[in-house]
Structure 1
Amino acid sequence: MSRRYREETMTVSGVESPRLQPEAEAGQDRSARPWWRRWWFGVTLTWFATRLLLLLFDTKVLPYHWHRSATSDVPIYHHWSWVLQQGHFPADDTRWQYPPGAAGIMLLPDLVPGGWPTYLNTFFAIVLIFDAIAFWLLMRRARPRNRGSIQGPWLWTLGVFLLGPITLGRYDLIVATIAMAALLVAGRPLVRGALIGVGAMIKVWPIMLLVGVRRWRELIVTTLGAAAVIVATTLAIGATLPGSLSFIRFQKERGIQIESVAATPFLLARGLGWPGGTGDRYGAREAIGPGVEVAIAACGIATVIGGLVLLAWWTRARWTETTPYDAALFATLLGMITSRVLSPQYMLWALGLAAVCLTSPKTSQRPVAWLLLLATALTQLEFPILWGGVVHNGPAGMAALTARNVLLVGATVWSGVRLWKATGTRAVEAV
């Protein structure tokens, strides 16, 4: 008899017989619950509702005042798709700052059989499909029989919605899904490395996932898998489409985007007499004026310091089952706050990895993940809702941007501290 049942005896007509306490009824098999009371129902319903709203906003069925800002990149993708179909990369367009694999994303809506009425709507549909894949991956890991946690799917569901319609108007969600798949479904180092390579060929940041790979043998195999995909893809695309590496020059020449952490002091200094301002360069709004070149150099130094911090952690860490997730989040956050560019859609990188962390009850990053959810809500405030205030020194816009960046820096430091403690000498190494 189950230990959850407590047996009592009572005399009925002089005969002692066992009686089960009411808690036996409360302990009925959970599978007998109605489908609307299952563990997956609430978050799944919320995902469908929020994604429907995003799609209605992006397709103008429902009004969204900042629609043009949220979807402004998709017409550019469409133009680049046309250029690519002519047999070359847009090598003279300074806005092209993406690795060669991004060409596949730009071309994808035109390759859909039959297609939707417009490139715009087809692109939205493709991103939504990848969003559904990401949600499915998280739900698969969160199942009770996997001893997972439903917090991961909830964070992703709410975070993507809080970032707003821009999530369907940029291709970063696609890359985030590939990175999440590398962590959640790629059990073999070579397969994980290949997925990391695919993500890095579309947008460089998934290479950060290598930080979470344990020790030398596994690291070498995973790195070889990523390198094989990167080299093969670069050679194949370069041989067929000239100009595939032009993005490197444009990336090097970029300044400090005003939404980056490094630009925040300059924007705040405008009210104290800083003679600089902002201007459109390389497809973004950048800080221009005295001291900016010093800040650019400081970003490079900060990136190197961040790399040394990761190396110091890696050489002394004792792995747990969640270390690959937790380390990937910390490394990505470090890259975000030390970068010269921090576009709103970059929050999807952190959200995806944070959601993966939360699928495990043993993660060290739980409070960091929920802090990132707040930073995501502030991100939609600063762009596109209060963007005019950010550009022209409005108090509300500057408050939202400054608060977001302070939260990101705080989340990064907190993430590193918690990761360091969780993988210290007293941590139990999971082999």
Structure 2
Amino acid sequence: MPVFTRRYRRATCWWAGTRLLLLLWSLQALPYFSRGSVLGDVVIYKGWASTLTAGSFPSGDSQWQYPPGAAFVMLIPKLLAKTGIGYVNSFFFFALAADAVVFLLLIGQAERIAAESRRLPHQAGVWAWVIGGVALGPIMFMRYDVIVTAVAVAGLLAVVRTNGKRSAERAERRTWELRGALLGLGAIVKVWPAVLLLGLPPKPRGRRALASAVACAVVVSGLLAAALPGAMSFLGHQGDRGIEIEAVLASPFMIASWFGYPVHTVHKDGNFQLAGHGTGLVGSAAIFLTLVGFAVVLWWRVRRFRPERWTPGLMYDIGFTTLLIMVVTSRVLSPQYLIWLMGLAALCLAEDGPGRRGTLMGVPARMVMGCTLVSQIEFPLLFAQVMYHGFWGTALVAARNLVLLAATLIALRKLWTATTVESEETAPAPEAPGDDHPVLAPAGAPRPQSGSVQEA
């Protein structure tokens, strides 16, 4: 495996060392300054797992706000707990395994891009995942977001290989069917992987992946709904959410409270939300803003985007941009949401080396990675200040949110301008021998060398 080769030795050692530290913090083998406040969600997962094994979804709990596929994430640690290590510890090891999957996928991606460009592997994506994970702290293993991220990244990178019984054409069809199924599965585990479908390639590959995603989501959801009552109860609970104190839309209210604006923090539906004049209206508007953002990307894809400009790197750029829109317009922006963005940022940065396919998202991706570096300071270290609108905690969250908002606007602008304006740099690259389709470079990106292109 590439992970054991000399060129990845340093990254592998750093990943192993940092993840051992996170695991020791999680297991309380080493003291962490606020383990109890970070651990809470896993304890809730344990209760939900007991409800699920009793024969129903936890529909009576307003904190259950997840699609039916989340049941798998709750139940797998319960099976692992039969080894005698307990549910909570089993969950940590499950999350560690998902973290390792993303790390290995990113190394495999670096190898593929290196083969295309005939250069040494560019490891920016690998290092982004390594450093970002330890920057987030033990929350990396104390939420199920890393597990969903592993499914989503696999949905963008999974490859079915050719063999004696499987031709290259059939392997490609199976690849896109597998990718679509994984994205569909991710969507019914925690919704957000569905936005990555906007970056799928033009027909027929994209059509095949989309059909596979829908089929997987419908079949698995239907089976869960038939087996356990209350599978769709999360829809009603989602509608009751307010603006969480860490959300982008909350920052203006939080800052205004310093000057006497009548807004305060309440605990509701499992998170700390703002209550006060105008917060309900803005909370409702958040859904509209999210839909508008998605509509802009969809309109661009359908009406402005030319199919011949599609590249694997552009698929990651579109997914990253759409996910940024979702995060900055969301009513909730918990620290673990950065794990989603970190996974997509790592994919974009993997494309950002000399002589490679190129990414449009180099700057926004680095901005997101910068936000991960202050995450533990905001939560849990200064979270009490955030709850009570203290200066340092509120200022730090507002600064992070401003960076995320700026990254979103930059990403949208780059995506729009680089893929809708004709230039010589965006002319189709020559088709590589043996490929089923050409791989193209977005505006400003280096062209791949003829005869060395393979689809990731």
Same topology, TM > 0.5: yes
Match of 1:93 among 53, 61, 75: 61
CA shift for structure 1 position 395: 1.3
Instruction: State the partner residue of 1:353.
Output: 344
CA shift for structure 1 position 230: 1.0
CA shift for structure 1 position 44: 1.0
How has the CA–CA distance of structure 1 residues 72 and 428 changed in structure 2, closer, same or farther, with 3 Å as cutoff? farther
In the alignment, structure 1 residue 182 sits paired with structure 2 residue 135: no
CA shift for structure 1 position 216: 4.3
CA shift for structure 1 position 277: 0.4
For the residues of structure 1 that align with 2:380 and 2:428, how far apart are their CA atoms? 45
Instruction: State the partner residue of 1:365.
Output: 361
For the residues of structure 2 that align with 1:226 and 1:329, how far apart are their CA atoms? 19
CA shift for structure 1 position 422: 3.1
In the alignment, structure 1 residue 132 sits paired with structure 2 residue 97: no
In the alignment, structure 1 residue 313 sits paired with structure 2 residue 300: yes
Instruction: State the partner residue of 2:393.
Output: 397
CA shift for structure 1 position 313: 2.3
What is the number of equivalent residue pairs in this alignment?
397
**1:382 and 1:397 in contact (8 A); partners too:** yes
Match of 1:250 among 237, 243, 262: 237
RMSD across aligned C-alpha pairs, in angstroms?
A: 1.7
How has the CA–CA distance of structure 1 residues 346 and 294 changed in structure 2, closer, same or farther, with 3 Å as cutoff? same
CA shift for structure 1 position 173: 0.2
- Matches for 1:136-285 after TM superposition, within 5 Å: 136-143=104-111, 144-147=114-117, 148-186=121-159, 188-285=175-272
Q: Which runs of 5+ in 2 are unaligned?
A: 160-171, 430-437, 439-456
Instruction: State the partner residue of 1:385.
Output: 381
Give 2:80's aligned amino acid. Answer: V
In the alignment, structure 1 residue 419 sits paired with structure 2 residue 415: yes
For the residues of structure 2 that align with 1:357 and 1:410, how far apart are their CA atoms? 17
For the residues of structure 2 that align with 1:338 and 1:76, how far apart are their CA atoms? 26
For the residues of structure 1 that align with 2:138 and 2:257, how far apart are their CA atoms? 30
**2:345 and 2:369 in contact (8 A); partners too:** no
Instruction: State the partner residue of 2:314.
Output: 323
CA shift for structure 1 position 189: 2.4
TM (norm. structure 2) is 0.84
Residue aligned with 1:423, SS:
helix
Residue aligned with 1:83, SS:
helix
| Cα deviation 1:289-318 (Å, max 9, x = unaligned) | 100122123212211220222023213223
Paired-residue identity, % = 39
**1:263 and 1:287 in contact (8 A); partners too:** yes
Give 1:177's aligned amino acid. Answer: A
Q: Which runs of 5+ in 1 are unaligned?
A: 1-30
Give 2:115's aligned amino acid. Answer: R
CA shift for structure 1 position 385: 1.0
CA shift for structure 1 position 116: 4.3
CA shift for structure 1 position 429: 4.4
In the alignment, structure 1 residue 62 sits paired with structure 2 residue 30: yes
TM (norm. structure 1) is 0.89
The structure number with the bigger radius of gyration is 1
Instruction: State the partner residue of 2:323.
Output: 332
For the residues of structure 2 that align with 1:42 and 1:219, how far apart are their CA atoms? 37
- Matches for 1:32-43 after TM superposition, within 5 Å: 38-43=6-11
Residue aligned with 2:273, SS:
strand
**2:81 and 2:87 in contact (8 A); partners too:** no
The 10-residue stretch of structure 1 (84-93 or 137-146) with the greater mean CA deviation from structure 2 = 137-146
Instruction: State the partner residue of 2:48.
Output: 80
Residue aligned with 1:72, SS:
helix
**1:372 and 1:408 in contact (8 A); partners too:** yes
**1:378 and 1:401 in contact (8 A); partners too:** no
| Cα deviation 1:63-118 (Å, max 9, x = unaligned) | 11110121110010001111111101111000000000101110111212742422
Give 1:49's aligned amino acid. Answer: G
